[in-house]
Structure 1
C-alpha cells in the first residue's frame, strides 16, 4: 500500500471560508475525507501548518519513508528557500500543487522555490489538483 502525505501550508486551514470565488466553499477536511474514501487502497496522511519550520520538520519526518508528498506550500512557495532546500534534501518525491492558477495571479506568485526540486507542478484545477498529483503517484 502506497503511503502519501498531503501537506498544506499557510492559510489553507481557511478553505471553505477564504475567498470562495477562488478557493471554493469546501473545507479541506471535507475534501480529504472524500478522497480517502475514493482512494481506499492508499494510506493518505494529512498535515497542515501555518508555520514554516513545522512544514520543514514534517518533510524531514516523512522524506525517507513515504512514497510521495503532495505539497501546497501556499505563499511559502514564493518565499521560502528553506522549504526548497528541505525538499532537495529528502528522497521522497514531492509534487507542488496549487488550487488556483498562480501564473494568472500577481507577478510574485510566478516564482517557486519548490518547483526546481519537485517531481512536478500542478496548478489551477481547484481541489482536483490534489487528485491529479495523487494519480501521478499511482
Structure 2
C-alpha cells in the first residue's frame, strides 16, 4: 500500500513562459462565433453533453439562429424530459419562430413540470408573440394559483 504525504500539493512547479501564435483559421474566431465553434466541437465527440447543449442553444438564440436553437432545445427535451426549464426554453424557441400553438404546448408542459418563475415569464422578450393570445394569460394564472 502506498502512503502519500500531506505536503504533496505544497510544492509549486514553475512552467516556462512560451510565446506562441495560433495560426489555424479555427482560432481566428471572436466572441460568440468562437463559443459556437468550441461547443459544436465538444458535441461532435459527446453529442449528449447536456451542459454544452444548454449553452449552445442559448448562444444560437442570442445570435438569431433560431432554427438551430430549436433543434438543440428539442434534443434537450429528449434527454431531459422532466426538466421544466428545458421545456420553457423549447417554448421560447417555438415562439421566436412564430410557431405559437407549439410554443403554448411546450410552455404548458414546463408549467406542469414545475416552472414557476412568473417574473421571468412576463418579461421574457422571446415570448412576445404569445402575450396577445388568451392562452397566455391562462398560463400566467395557472402559475399564480399553483
State if a TM-score over 0.5 links the two structures: no
| Greater per-residue strand proportion | 1
TM-score (norm 1): 0.29
Between structure 1 and structure 2, the one with the greater Rg is: 2
Structure 1 or 2: more helix by fraction = 2
